[in-house]
Structure 1
Amino acid sequence: MTGSPGDIGTQGIEMNKPIEATIEMKRRTSLGVRLLRSRETGIIGALLIMVLALSIFAPNFASVDNLLNDTRNLSFVGIVVLGQAAVMITGGIDLSVGSVWGLSAVASAAMMQAGLGVVPACVLTLLIAASVGLFNGLCVTKLRMLPFVPTLATMSIARALALIITRGKAIDGFRPDGDAFFALGGGDILGLPTPFVIFVVLSVIAGVVLKRSVYGRQLYAVGGNERAAMLTGLDVDRLKISVYVMSSVLAGLAGIIEVSYLSSAISNQGLGKELSVIAAAVIGGTALSGGEGTVIGVFVGTVILEVLRNGLILLGTDAYWQGVFVGSVIVFAVFIDQLRKGVWRRR
């Protein structure tokens, strides 16, 4: 005996419920698996563990003043990391960012000391930084040099120019347009240091560009397989030049903001910062081989680097040992990333 049409419809709905539940469970499971496999999940977890441990063993770490000081300090490196990450995503590297940082700092300070207004001085400084990036990009693309060769050369050239400008002396005592310029690096917005706010805004913009724009997808394509990108019609040379210019401009911006914060400039500003910048990018999951990296990753990587530095100081660790710990964290971060990808299982 067959049931009525209404009974059949009810049975069909009841039969669909387990299927829908199974689909929903699979969807949640796949989301969980993706989160576990995500490099960002790992580094965020590492950051939380570091913060918790330092809050216990170094009580001053969790103080408001210390945290605000950390956010200001990490912002200078963080701004530069955004440009470095773009270069690394295309498979390159920029060793000149520290020297461009220093050159931009002394150039902007020297121009303002000479009486040039803030805006013209900053614009000219960023143009100088952009010209260094353009030179790097042209050497990499048109002269087919390995990225470390021209960027190593400009690292030396930019540092020498900074020394020529300063003659080994500090540039200070300038008061451009009142105190407005000094608020750029030393001021606050809604209780947060202005450099950190700038870093966050630039990170949001960079994240949108890399993930949501055609330009961003093209950068990943170049880093993933440059030959294939060329065959699909992408202007690989133009894309590479653009990221080197971007890297230098952001390094120049960091130099200007730091001058605003310190109210002075010396030739060794940014000295060795290229190592911190590359370290933050690598810790954040940006692959040196290109094609991988996210803004969230480099943001967290920058925070980890500063938290580690600050924590070591608060724990009374000898300053000479800080480089050992930072280097160890870099190696460990790359090891975890290789483990996540299953590199050794494929061998």
Structure 2
Amino acid sequence: MPDRSGVRSASALDVAIAHQTHSVAGRLLSQQAFWIFLAAVIACVSLSLATETFATSQNLFNVTRNFAFVGIVALGMTVVIISGGIDLSVGSVLCLSAMVMAISMNAGVSFVLSAALAIGVSLLVGAVNGALIAYLRIPAFVVTLGMLSIARSAAMVLSDNKMVFQFGPDEDILFWVGGGSTFGIANPVIALVLFGLVTGGLLNWTRWGTHIFAVGANEKAAILTGISVRRTKVSVYMFSALMAGLAGILEAGWLGGVTTNLGQSMELTVIAATVIGGANLLGGAGTVFGSIVGAALIEVIRNCLILLGISTFWQGGFVGGFIILAVAFDRLRAYRDSEI
């Protein structure tokens, strides 16, 4: 009788050799982010041919600026999802950050100090989320769903549920940071690129990034290897809150006013962007590039509906369909790999 363990070992070795000998093109074609990027490019080309307004400089400026806010928040969500968690509070944290900064600036505090205060509040919210999840072992869905309501309620209390649109002596700085441009590129887009490079570097070139992937792939194995899983979990929720807080500052500068419904339901769009871009909701997989491309595709879809005169009520249907297709593609790929 043949040695089955030997057969399995030989088969595993053959698979490993096959993966090592795959061409660059083969590896690229196997990435979900590549196909989403291709879909976004095709959509842009099709819209440019079908309409006279999509390819205009003003519309492209608006599209890139609009998806930048979702993209920045998606960077933090990507880190959380890779770790095997979920953060439903990002929209409310964005609102709370923007409101703290708006109220501070309205009281005469400088832009720098107000932004620092807003970021500090965001990090505090992220630390509370992480501590409850990591140390009390409360499910992430429950904790962040509760924080979704708490953070937005805090924004309402601070502002007495009123719009803040006067930002004191430094309001021109705020308006330039969030609504201005540099070399014809919207400042939020530049911020997205910078934050994306930093996040990608942290995930791929630091011990912290390695620990995040390890925790998401197999938490028990990560514990056995000596990784501080609890501290890693706290750090990823703080990072997610940080990205949401930064996006809140930028969006306040773009809108020129802050209301308590800012960022409402944004968490759904952000999660959609990360999943469409290839992040695995079970943890252990995800890329910065994929999440940014996912955010871009969602904004292109929204812009497409507007330019073609289609009701924006269909936006949720298209986004939901892309989510299902993205997850189905990932499941089919996993099934195929398991059959090799």
TM-score by length of 1: 0.89
Aligned-CA RMSD value: 1.7
What is aligned with 2:283?
Answer: 290
Q: In structure 2, what residue type is equivalent to 1:229? A: A
Number of the residue aligned with 1:47: 40
| 1:50-61 correspondence runs (5 A) | 50-61=43-54
For residues 302 and 112 of structure 1, the distance between their equivalents in structure 2, rounded to whole angstroms, comes to 30
Distance 1:48 1:194 in 2: 23
Q: Deviations over 1:268-309 (max 9, x none)?
A: 000010111101000110110000001111111111111111
Match of 1:37 among 25, 30, 33: 30
Looking at structure 1, the residues matched to 32 and 63 of structure 2 have their Cα atoms a distance apart, in angstroms, of: 24
Alignment partner of 1:76 out of 39, 46, 69: 69
User: Which region of structure 1 is more displaced relative to structure 2, 321-330 or 30-39?
Assistant: 30-39
Alpha-carbon separation, structure 1, partners of 2:36 and 2:143 = 32
1:266 and 2:259 correspond: yes
Letter of the 1:233 partner, please give it.
Answer: G
Q: 2 CA distance for matches of 1:56 and 1:236? A: 51
| Change over 3 Å in CA distance of 1:311–1:213 after alignment to 2 | same
Counterparts of 1:49 and 1:27 in 2: how far apart (Å)?
31
Distance 1:335 1:58, change over 3 A: farther
User: Matched residue of 2:85: which SS?
Assistant: coil
Q: Which aligned pairs between 1:198-277 and structure 2 lie closer than 5 A?
A: 198-277=191-270
Distance 1:128 1:178, change over 3 A: closer
Residue 59 (structure 1) shift = 2.7
Contact 1:97 1:274 (8 Å CA) reproduced: yes
Out of 298, 317, 321, which is 2:310 matched to? Answer: 317
Change (3 A) 1:308 1:147: same
The change in CA–CA distance for 1:27 and 1:236 in structure 2 (over 3 A counts) is closer
Q: 2:144 is matched with which residue?
A: 151
Query: How far did 1:222 drift?
Result: 0.7
The alignment covers a number of residue pairs equal to 321
| Secondary structure of the structure 1 residue equivalent to 2:172 | coil
Q: Which structure has the greater CA radius of gyration?
A: 1
Match of 1:129 among 113, 122, 126: 122
Secondary structure at 1:48 match in 2: helix
Contact 2:80 2:86 survives alignment (8 Å): yes
Q: Distance in 2 between matches of 1:29 and 1:150?
A: 43
Deviations 1:17-57 (A, max 9, x none): xxxxxxxxx99863222122122221122112211222222
Corresponding residue number in structure 2 for 1:4: none
Whole-Å separation in 2 of the counterparts to 1:279 and 1:35:
22
Counterpart in the other structure of 2:293: 300
- Whole-Å Cα distance in 1 between the matches of residues 112 and 23 of structure 2? 51
TM-score (norm 2): 0.91
Query: Which segment drifts farther, 47-56 or 156-165?
Result: 47-56
SS in 1 for 2:168: coil
Q: Which amino acid aligns with 1:154?
A: M
Conserved? CA contact 1:58–1:311, under 8 Å = no
**Residue 189 (structure 1) aligns with:** 182
Residue 111 of structure 2 contacts residue 173 of structure 2 at CA under 8 Å; is this kept in 1?
no
Match of 1:21 in 2: none
Where do 5+ consecutive residues of structure 1 fail to align?
1-25
Cα distance between partner residues in 1 of 2:316 and 2:192: 24
Tell me by how many angstroms 1:342 deviates.
2.6
Distance 2:22 2:314 in 1: 43
Q: How far has the Cα of 1:344 moved from its partner?
A: 9.8
Q: Which amino acid is 1:215 matched to? A: W
| Residue of structure 1 in register with 2:10 after alignment | none
Deviations 1:215-272 (A, max 9, x none): 1111101100110010000001111100100101111111111111122110000001
Whole-angstrom distance in 1 between the partners of 2:85 and 2:22:
36
Residue identity in the other structure for 1:308: I
* Letter aligned with residue 144 of structure 1: R
Instruction: Give the Cα–Cα distance (whole angstroms) in 2 for the partners of residues 116 and 82 of structure 1.
Output: 29
Q: Which amino acid aligns with 2:191?
A: I
Percent of aligned positions that are identical: 44
